[in-house]
Amino acid sequence: MKNNHINQSGDLHMIDISEKEITFRTAKASGEIILNKQAFDSVLQLNNKKGDVLNTARIAGINAVKQTSNLIPLAHTIPISAVSIEFKIEESRSKIHCYATVKSEGRTGVEIEALVGVEIALMTIYDMCKYLDRGMQINNIMLLSKTGGKSGDFIKK
């Protein structure tokens, strides 16, 4: 099996994408965090002592998307056209779902950026609520869909 990140000498390197076609690309990822009732209520009632949890998590997720190439060693710096971080509340289970959608026009995909956005948004919720619940669970981080590029479209089934 060929590994594009290893050169003929066996050294890791960043893949050369300079010859790839520029295409419009999107990716959507999701994940969830389960909190205890007290932490969950502090998020919904906007009375968390650290501030507005979901808006802080949204900004953290957006910033993470823009910083992905600084976090993932072989990821390319890419032009980000749009980032959306959204939350869906599941009150009956004290669960918050996070969705990140990333758009770019470039030579490489935005799947990693979407996944990083979700992870950092959820970790920000954890950070802001840990004084109320150290047992929170971050689960089911996954790519839901991607479009563009040589490999074509993907939709999780």
pLDDT at position 1: 43
Helix or strand (DSSP H, E) at 16: none
| Residue 7 included in any domain | no
Range of the domain at 84: 23-148
Write down the pTM of the prediction. Answer: 0.90
For the chain, helix, strand, coil in percent to 5 are 30, 30, 40
| Residue 8 included in any domain | no
| Residue 12 included in any domain | no
Q: Is 127 a catalytic residue?
A: yes
| Residue 2 included in any domain | no
For residue 34, how many C-alpha atoms fall within 13 Å in the half-sphere facing its CB? 7
In one letter, which amino acid is 105?
A: E
| Residue 156 included in any domain | no
The structural domain count of the chain equals 1
Domain with residue 59: its CATH number is: 3.30.70.640
Dihedral sign, Cα of residue 61, residue 62, residue 65, residue 68: negative
| Residue 124 included in any domain | yes
| Residue 6 included in any domain | no
Q: Residue 156 in contact with residue 38, Cβ under 8 Å? A: no
pLDDT in tens, the chain (157 residues): 455 655 666 677 777 788 788 889 999 999 999 999 999 999 999 999 999 999 999 999 999 999 999 999 889 999 999 999 999 999 999 999 999 999 999 888 899 999 999 999 999 999 999 999 999 999 999 999 999 988 889 999 9
Neighbours of 121 (CB within 10 A): 29
| Residue 13 included in any domain | no
One of 16, 41, 127, 153 is an active-site residue; which one? 127
